[in-house]
Chains A and B, each alone.
Chain A
Amino acid sequence: MMDLRARQDRCRRPAAPHAHGMRPHPADASTGDGAPSGAPGDTPLALETRGLAVGHASRALVSDVDLAVRPGELLVLVGPNGSGKTTMLRTIAGQLKALGGSIMLFGRALDTIPGTERARTMAALFTDRHKTDLITCQDIVEAGRHPYTGSLGVLSPEDRRCVREAMEATGTWGLRDRDAAHVSDGQRQRVLIARALCQEPKLLVLDEPTSYLDIHSQIGMLQLLRNRARERRMAVVASLHDIGMALRAADRIACIHGGRVIFQGAPDAALSTEMVSRLYGVEPASYDPVSGSVELARPAGEPQVFVIAGGGTGTSTFRALQRRGIPFAAGVLYPGDIDGQLAARLAATAIFAADFEPVGPEAVDRAKEALLACRAVVCLRSSFGAMDARNAELLEAARAAGIPVCGDIGQLDGLA
C-alpha cells in the first residue's frame, strides 16, 4: 500500500506548465493497476491528453491534464463541485475547444476526426436535460445509431437489433413506447445510457452516469460498464460524485482539485483518507477508506453515555446516539472490528485493545475511567467471549458506582 503510493506520487507533478518530457506521463509509466494485459504501445491508447488545458472562454479551469486511458479501462474523475470535471469531459468529447495541449483518440488528434467517424469511436453523455415532446424512449436510443444510418436515418434490421440489445441491457426495453417526457429521471438516464451504448463506442465519456439512479440501478449500471469494458475492450472516462462507487468500479482514478489533476492512480491510493480530506475537505477521522463512505460529524462535548459493544452489536446504537447529538464513549473494542471502526469515527472517546489479543487490565482501567464520567451505560452484549471477558468488569464498576445500565438506547429516555 505504502510503496504503491510512493510510486504513484511521482505522477503528482509540480505546478510547472510547458515542461513536457520532464515529467512522467501516465502513458509512459508501465503501471499495471488494473489495466488490461498487453504491452502498452501495442494498441493505441483509447484516449491520451498531454498538457491539456480546459475552461470556458479563455480562462483555464483545469490545466496540465495528462490522461491516458487504455482500451478496456475505466478511468473515473473525482473532485469537488466546480473543480472542472464536466468541463474536462466536455472538452474530451469535443464540445468545448481545448485551451491548450492535445487530445488524441486512438492515436489521432481529436479535432482532425470528422464528426461521424468521431461518433463511431466515442459516445458522450452529459447531465443536460433537454425538454422533448412526443419523442419515445426508443426514438432516443435509435438516435444512437445516427453515425451508422444512411442519409435519411432509416434503421436497418441490424440497427434495430443493436437498439433492442442496448435497451434490454439497461432494462429499458419495457419503456420503449413511452414518451420520454413522461418517464422518471432515473428511467430517462438509463434510456440515455442505452443510447450511448448502442452507438457502439470504443470510448465512452460519461458525466455523472449514476445521477438519478436508485442504488440497484447504480450498481447495475457500473457493472454493465465493467462488463462492456472487459468483453468489448470499451474504454470509459466518467466523473462520479459517489466516491464509494468510484472506489468499487474504477480501474484508475484521477483526482481534480484546484485546477490540477493532483493525483492519478489505483482507486485505493487515489481515495486514501489523506486524499479525500484534501479533495473534499472532509474530516479525516470521519472517512472510511474501505467503503469510501463518510460519517456525519461526531457529537461535540464530553461523553455522557458509555457503550459496551463489539462484533457489530453497536453500530445502530452508535448512529442513533450520533443522530440525537449525544456524545458517547465506547470500549473496550478491537480496531479491526466493525464496531471499533465506527466508534473511531463517531465516539467522543473510544478505548481499544490490540486486535486478536485478550482485553488487558490496562485497557479496562482506561475504559472504567471514561465510564465513571458518564451518566448512563448501554450494554449491548448478553455475554462476553474469551478474549473480551474483562469487559464484564466494566458492568460491575458501573453497578458499584450506581450508574444505570440499560440494554438498549430506548431505555435511556426513561433514565433522563
Chain B
Amino acid sequence: MTAHRPCLDHSAADPAPEGQRERPRPLDDFPASSRSARSGRMPARRLRALAVWAALGCALAILLVAGICIGSVGATPAEVLDSILSGPDGTTLSQIVWQIRLPRVLASAILGGALSLSGFLLQTFFNNPIADPFVLGISSGARLAVALAMIVLLGARQVLTPWGSVAAALAGSLATMGAALVLARRVRTQSMLIIAGIMVGYVCSAATNFLIAFADDQDIVNLQSWSQGSFSGSSWSDLGVATAAIVAVSIVVFALSKPLGAYQLGEAFAHSVGVDVRRLRVLIVLVSSLLSATVTAFAGPISFVGIAAPHLARLAVGSSRPLLVMPACFLAGSVFCCGCDLLARTLFSPVELSVSAVTAVFGAPVVIALMLRRKGYR
C-alpha cells in the first residue's frame, strides 16, 4: 500500500548479463531457442510500430495529394501545391481545390480514422474481431436518428446544424449500442451478437428508407446521397466540427490505452490489476459511439472500415497493445477511406459510386479471412 515500488528481485540491482543471471527456482528449463536468446525485444517492437506509423503516414500523404490532383479537372501536384499555398482565389482550379477536393480528402482521412478507432474499441469491448459500428447496427441507428432530425427540422423550416446532426447521431448510436448491450447480455455468444446487430441495422435502414420515401423531393436529394455513405459535399464548417469532435475524443481514447490493454485480457483480469471496469466500459461505449456518430452525421454509414483497418493495423504492428496499435489504427482507417473515396469518384467518372460500395469490396474479404482464421484456432 505504500507508494514506493519495491521490486521482487532482491538481486535486481545486480546487472549480471543474461547468461550468468541466476534463475531463482525455475519450474522447469526451456531449451534456449533462437527466440529466447534474442534480447532487446521491446525496442524492436516499438521500432516496428514506428515504421508502420511512418509508412501509413506517407501513404496517407500520397493519397491526399492524389485525391486533390485527380478528378474531372486534372492538376499536377505542383499546381495544387501552388494553389493551396496561395490561398483561395478566383481561379477555377483554386475553387475546385479549396471548395471541393481539399475538404473532401481531409474529411475522408479524419472520418476514416475515427471509424477505424471506433471499430478497434468495439472489438476490444466485445472481444470479437468482427465487431464494428456498421456490423453492430450502430451506424444505421445513427443514420435513422439524423434522418429523423433532418426531416423534423425541415418541416419546421429549420436547418440541421453540424453539431445538431452530431448530437442526433450520438443519440441514435447510443440507443442502438444499448440494444446491442442488452442483446450481448442475453445471448452470450459472439456470433449471435453480430447477427442481432445486423438485424437491428436492417430495421433502422428500413425505417430510414421509409422516411426518405415519404420526404419532400427537396430533402431527398440531400438524404439520398448521404444515406448511402459518401464524403461528397463536405464543407469546411462540417469538417471543422468533425475534426474538433474527433480530435477531442481521440485524445480521450489514447489516454485510455493503459486500462484498455488490461481489458484486452478479460474483465476479471482488468479488475485484478486495479482497473475500474465499470467506468471503463461506460467510457468505451461513450467514446466509440461518439466517434461513429460523428462519422455517420457527416458521411453516412460506411461499411467494413471499422473491421478491416484495425485488423490490418494489428497485423502490421504485430501486436494488440493499444498504445502501439491505436495510432496505426487511426492512420490505417484514414488511408483506407481516402483510397476508397478516390476510387469511388474516379473509377467510373463521371458516375460516382458510394464509398460503402468500395470499402465493402476491400473490407469484406478481410472479414471473411478473419472468420476463417478464427475457426482454425479452435
Of B7, B28, B318, the residue contacting A161 (CB under 8 A) is B7
Chain B residues with CB below 8 A from A198, complex form: 8
Q: Is B281 an interface residue (CB 8 A)?
A: no
What would 11 more interface pairs be, CB under 8 Å, given A171-B28, A199-B272? A128-B268, A130-B265, A134-B314, A135-B321, A158-B5, A161-B7, A165-B24, A170-B26, A174-B31, A175-B36, A200-B7
- Is A174 within 8 A of B261, CB to CB? no
Q: Is A117 an interface residue (CB 8 A)?
A: yes
User: How many angstroms between the C-alpha atoms of A173 and B29 in the bound complex?
Assistant: 9
Which residue on chain B has the smallest CB distance to residue A221? B27
A126 touching B268 in the complex, CB below 8 Å, given contacts A120-B274, A134-B314, A177-B41 = yes
- Is B271 within 8 A of A217, CB to CB? no
User: How many angstroms between the C-alpha atoms of A148 and B377 in the bound complex?
Assistant: 34
User: How many angstroms between the C-alpha atoms of A227 and B25 in the bound complex?
Assistant: 10
Segment 3-18 of B: residues with Cβ below 8 Å from A: 5-9, 12
- Is A146 within 8 A of B28, CB to CB? no
A162 touching B27 in the complex, CB below 8 Å, given contacts A94-B271, A178-B35 = no
A135 touching B27 in the complex, CB below 8 Å, given contacts A117-B1, A119-B274, A161-B12 = no
Chain A residues with CB below 8 A from B276, complex form: 115
Q: Is B73 an interface residue (CB 8 A)?
A: no
Which residue on chain A has the smallest CB distance to residue B33? A174
Chain B residues with CB below 8 A from A151, complex form: 255, 258
Q: Is A168 an interface residue (CB 8 A)?
A: yes
CB distance from A32 to the nearest CB of B (A): 27
Q: Is B262 an interface residue (CB 8 A)?
A: yes
Of A143, A164, A220, the residue contacting B269 (CB under 8 A) is A143
Q: Is B83 an interface residue (CB 8 A)?
A: no
Chain B residues with CB below 8 A from A224, complex form: 25, 27
CB distance from B373 to the nearest CB of A (A): 9
A220 touching B27 in the complex, CB below 8 Å, given contacts A115-B276, A126-B268 = yes
Q: Is B266 an interface residue (CB 8 A)?
A: yes
A-B pairs with beta carbons under 8 Å apart, 17 shown? A90-B268, A119-B272, A120-B1, A125-B272, A133-B129, A133-B320, A140-B265, A146-B273, A159-B5, A161-B12, A165-B12, A169-B24, A174-B32, A176-B41, A177-B38, A190-B27, A220-B27
Chain B residues with CB below 8 A from A199, complex form: 272-273
- Is B5 within 8 A of A148, CB to CB? yes
Q: Is B323 an interface residue (CB 8 A)?
A: yes
Q: Mark A128-164, 1 if CB is under 8 A from B, else 0.
A: 1011111110111001101111011110101111101
User: How many angstroms between the C-alpha atoms of A153 and B259 in the bound complex?
Assistant: 8
Q: Mark B250-268, 1 if CB is under 8 A from A, else 0.
A: 0000010110011011101
Chain A residues with CB below 8 A from B377, complex form: 131, 181
Chain A residues within 8 Å of chain B by Cβ, number: 70
Q: Is A93 an interface residue (CB 8 A)?
A: yes
- Is B274 within 8 A of A118, CB to CB? yes
Q: Is A116 an interface residue (CB 8 A)?
A: yes
Which residue on chain B has the smallest CB distance to residue A156? B5
Of B26, B30, B319, the residue contacting A169 (CB under 8 A) is B26
Chain B residues with CB below 8 A from A120, complex form: 1, 274
Chain B residues within 8 Å of chain A by Cβ, number: 50
Chain B residues with CB below 8 A from A200, complex form: 6-8
Chain B residues with CB below 8 A from A144, complex form: 273
Q: Mark A92-130, 1 if CB is under 8 A from B, else 0.
A: 011100000000001000000001111111011110101
Chain A residues with CB below 8 A from B319, complex form: 134-136, 139
Q: Is B50 an interface residue (CB 8 A)?
A: no
Q: Is A166 an interface residue (CB 8 A)?
A: yes
Chain A residues with CB below 8 A from B275, complex form: 115, 146
- Is B5 within 8 A of A168, CB to CB? no
Q: Is B23 an interface residue (CB 8 A)?
A: yes
Q: Is A59 an interface residue (CB 8 A)?
A: no
Q: Is B127 an interface residue (CB 8 A)?
A: yes
Binding site for A on B (CB under 8 A): 1, 5-9, 12, 21, 23-33, 35-36, 38, 41-42, 127, 129, 255, 257-258, 261-262, 264-266, 268-269, 271-276, 314-315, 318-321, 323, 377
Chain A residues with CB below 8 A from B30, complex form: 171, 173-175
- Is B262 within 8 A of A168, CB to CB? no
A149 touching B258 in the complex, CB below 8 Å, given contacts A126-B268, A132-B265, A169-B26 = yes
Which residue on chain B has the smallest CB distance to residue A139? B321
- Is B28 within 8 A of A135, CB to CB? no
Which residue on chain A has the smallest CB distance to residue B258? A153
Chain B residues with CB below 8 A from A136, complex form: 319
- Is A168 within 8 A of B23, CB to CB? yes
A146 touching B258 in the complex, CB below 8 Å, given contacts A94-B271, A128-B266 = yes
Interface centre among A119, A125, A223 (most CB of B within 10 A): A119
By Cβ-Cβ distance, the 4 closest A-B pairs, closest first, are A119-B274, A174-B30, A153-B258, A130-B266
A177 touching B36 in the complex, CB below 8 Å, given contacts A133-B320, A162-B8, A165-B8 = yes
A115 touching B274 in the complex, CB below 8 Å, given contacts A130-B265, A136-B319, A152-B323 = yes
Q: Is A7 an interface residue (CB 8 A)?
A: no
Which residue on chain A has the smallest CB distance to residue B31? A174
Chain A residues with CB below 8 A from B21, complex form: 168
User: How many angstroms between the C-alpha atoms of A117 and B2 in the bound complex?
Assistant: 9
CB distance from A103 to the nearest CB of B (A): 15
Of A117, A138, A152, the residue contacting B41 (CB under 8 A) is A138
User: How many angstroms between the C-alpha atoms of A177 and B39 in the bound complex?
Assistant: 10
User: How many angstroms between the C-alpha atoms of A132 and B123 in the bound complex?
Assistant: 11
- Is A176 within 8 A of B264, CB to CB? no
A217 touching B257 in the complex, CB below 8 Å, given contacts A146-B273, A147-B273 = no
Interface centre among B9, B42, B323 (most CB of A within 10 A): B9
Chain B residues with CB below 8 A from A158, complex form: 5, 7, 12
A165 touching B36 in the complex, CB below 8 Å, given contacts A119-B274, A123-B272, A133-B129 = no
User: How many angstroms between the C-alpha atoms of A160 and B42 in the bound complex?
Assistant: 10
Which residue on chain B has the smallest CB distance to residue A135? B320
- Is A146 within 8 A of B262, CB to CB? yes
Segment 378-413 of A: residues with Cβ below 8 Å from B: none
User: How many angstroms between the C-alpha atoms of A90 and B1 in the bound complex?
Assistant: 21
User: How many angstroms between the C-alpha atoms of A118 and B321 in the bound complex?
Assistant: 24
Q: Is A197 an interface residue (CB 8 A)?
A: yes
- Is A134 within 8 A of B27, CB to CB? no
Chain A residues with CB below 8 A from B6, complex form: 200
Segment 54-98 of A: residues with Cβ below 8 Å from B: 90, 93-95
Q: Is A216 an interface residue (CB 8 A)?
A: yes
